[in-house]
Amino acid sequence: MVDAVWWKHGIVYQIYPRSFQDGSGDGIGDLSGIRQRLDHPEWLGVDAIWISPIYPSPMADFGYDVADYCEIDPVFGSLDEFDLLVAEAHARGLKVILDFVPNHSSDQHPWFRESRASRANPKRNWYIWRDPAPDGGPPNNWLANFGGSAWTLDEHTGQYYHHAFLPEQPDLNWRNPEVRRAMHDALRFWLDRGVDGFRVDVIWHLIKDAQFRDNPPNPAWQPHNAGIDRLLQVHSADQPEIHAVVAEMRAVLDAYPDRVLIGEIYLPLERLVAYYGAEMEGAHLPFNFQLIFADWTAPAIAKLIAEYEAALPAEGWPNWVLGNHDQKRIATRIGAAQARIAAMLLLTLRGTPTLYYGDEIGMENVAIPADRVQDPWERREPGRGLGRDPARTPMPWDGSRHGGFTTGEPWLPLSPDFAQRNVARLAEDPQSILTLYRDLIALRRAQVALRAGVHVPISAEGDVLVYERHDAASGSRLRIALNFGEETRRLDIGPAQLLLSTALDRAGHVDEVVLRPAEGVILAPIAARRAT
């Protein structure tokens, strides 16, 4: 049963720790700050918090360059503070999910320092080293995700090491059983401390082509796209052997009760769903990012949902994501009005939703002055709009100085409208987007059809998307109608109870629904209403 598995019926809330709450006054969010703000996810009604990397790191990529997999960076606190956070979260009924970054470490990790010391070092094969090409250049044409070659020459040993991201992030060699054992031990270290699961960073990158063949050119590449898109990553990622690696990782978690393995995977649907594993021994939730890149129209969203549902293996549980620390804010992508539609879509589709901090208050991307840019991607490819800082700005909690985020100077600037758009103010507004999120989450908890029911497409005509959620066991049926357009639309569904509108200004018995521009509604048809 879906309701017996917390990560199936639950809602995941992503916290970018540098920007959630600063408890020390240094302008950077930390574990103490997260603990201080646990009231918020509890009040909102989510089930789990996912915390982006908090491991020791030189911060070349803000924690995604790990120097120790079994410690806490002092900027975020200590292991004692982490244990206290887990205990207090659990006491509130909140699960704790950690980011895990196994594809690459920091170049300051002791493993890599040993690996680059000499070709004969016992840890040499813990990373990916290759001789130069005949002309002395890189071993092949692979590109780094943040620009430039994916190979850096180590002058001392005369070989190149591979890095899918920054040179400061050398890729580990997951073909080496010693690496796998070490990383499994790291997982157990956190599982033993009570962590409820992991979101695994770039999981599809872990295995590379054994022959290190060149990647082919991408015929669809355009000069305005990121440099990495010039080539198709046919040989540098998503190799057939990866599924055995993911199955081993899953086995580590399966030795502990009620844990979840989430995989970050930016791949087409037919390749994404393979990460569930042939026998469902892969990731519990291979992240589905389709909504992030979809055309925001009713027909496009309906097609996307249908294709995803059709591609899922029989036992595969779906999941949906509107945004994260690497993508533009949903309110920036589609506008403030449609962001309310997006909230209703996210929380009424079948599967596990993940909510990015700040989206519940309608946060938008913040323009970052050139002298405040932090993101290494923007620094390496300036002026291309690739920087992720605008979606990582501090959470505004109230209208006080720095939005209540810090008593110091925030590491990134807050949104200029934080005095109006903040948690305290919007929580008191019965028609705010924050209230909408809370009401949607409460309705989802109350209605078994939303938590566990099947998805039934109805129509996607013009600007209006209509679908239903059915739960056979209880007989409950709900209809969701979303107006993606700027014109009023009439919907004749017969007698129904209007349970919730994105405008939060009406409810009750209706015989037809007049959908206003950018309005969504959840309806319980009278003939099918039963207690849940």
Mean pLDDT of the chain: 96
Closest CA to 230 of 141, 304, 353: 141
Predicted pLDDT at 327: 97
Residue 255 lies inside a defined structural domain of this protein: yes
User: What pLDDT shows up at residue 1?
Assistant: 63
Q: Which residues of 336-358 are buried (b: 16+ CB within 10 A; e: fewer)?
A: eebbbbbbbbbbbbbbbbbbbbb
Phi, psi of 203 (to 5 degrees): -60, -25
Q: Per the structure block, which two tokens stand in for 139? A: 């071993």
Q: Are strands 352-356 and 496-501 parallel, antiparallel or unpaired?
A: unpaired
- 58 and 200 in a single domain? The answer is yes
Separation between Cα atoms, residue 222 and residue 131, nearest integer Å:
32
Cross-strand partners of 461: 464
pLDDT at 443 over 60: yes
Q: Same domain, yes or no, for 260 and 404?
A: yes
- Asked if residue 529 has pLDDT above 80, the reply is no
Same domain, 155 and 19: no
Radius of gyration, CA atoms only, the chain: 24
10 Å CB burial of residue 169 (0-12, 13-18, 19+) is: buried
DSSP code for 228: G
Question: Tens digit of pLDDT for each residue in 161-180?
Answer: 999 999 999 999 999 999 99
Residue 222 has pLDDT above 90, yes or no: no
> pLDDT per residue over 337-374, tens digit each?
999 999 999 999 999 999 999 999 999 999 999 999 99
- In a shared domain, residues 187 and 228: yes
Could you give the 3-state DSSP secondary structure of residue 429?
coil
Q: What is the pLDDT of residue 50?
A: 98
User: Is the distance from CB of 522 to CB of 348 less than 8 angstroms?
Assistant: yes
486 and 522 both lie in a single domain: yes
Q: Check pLDDT > 90 for residue 66.
A: yes
Give the whole-number percent of the chain exceeding pLDDT 90. 92
* Reported confidence tier of residue 380, pLDDT bands at 50, 70, 90: confident
Instruction: Pick the last residue of a domain from 413, 438, 463.
Output: 438
DSSP state of 318: P
Residue 444 belongs to a domain: no
> Which CATH number is 485's domain given?
2.60.40.1180
CATH of the domain at 158: 3.90.400.10
Mean pLDDT value of segment 118-138: 98
Q: State the angle between helix axes of 336-348 and 433-446 in degrees (0 to 180), rounded to the nearest 10.
A: 10
Q: Which of 135, 162, 189 is the last residue of a domain?
A: 162
Q: Is residue 293 a part of any domain in this protein?
A: yes
Same domain? For 88 and 115 the reply is no
218 lies in the same domain as 315: yes
Q: CA quadruple 495, 500, 502, 504: dihedral positive or negative?
A: positive
- Residue 225 counted as domain residue: yes
In a shared domain, residues 21 and 99? yes
pLDDT band at 530 (very low <50, low <70, confident <90, very high): very low
pLDDT of residue 330: 98
pLDDT score, position 191: 98
93 shares its domain with 125:
no
Q: Which of 438, 466, 494 is the last residue of a domain?
A: 438
Does residue 238 lie within any of the structural domains? yes
Query: Which of 57-71, 203-217, 380-394, 457-471 is predicted with the least confidence, judged by mean pLDDT?
Result: 380-394
Co-location of 19 and 143 in the same domain: no
Are the beta carbons of 497 and 451 closer than 8 angstroms? no
Q: Give the position of tokens 């700005």.
A: 393
- Give the confidence band of 455 by pLDDT, cuts at 50, 70, 90: very high
Is 171 a member of any domain? no
Q: What are the pLDDT digits (tens) for 68-105?
A: 999 999 999 999 999 999 999 999 999 999 999 999 99
Give SS3 for 333: helix
Catalytic residues: 201, 264
Provide mean pLDDT across the span 8-23.
98
Whether 235 has a pLDDT exceeding 60, the answer reads yes
Residue 443 lies in a domain: no
- Do 512 and 490 meet the contact criterion of CB atoms below 8 Å apart? yes
- Per-residue confidence at 272, pLDDT binned at 50, 70, 90? very high
Same domain, 289 and 367: yes
Q: Say if residues 478 and 29 touch (Cβ distance below 8 Å).
A: no
Q: Are residues 389 and 502 in the same domain?
A: no
> Which residue range forms the structural domain that includes residue 122?
110-162
Is 445 a domain residue?
A: no
Domain count, the chain: 3
349, amino acid identity: L
* CATH at 341: 3.20.20.80
DSSP string for residues in 251-277: HHHHTSTT-EEEE-----HHHHGGGG-
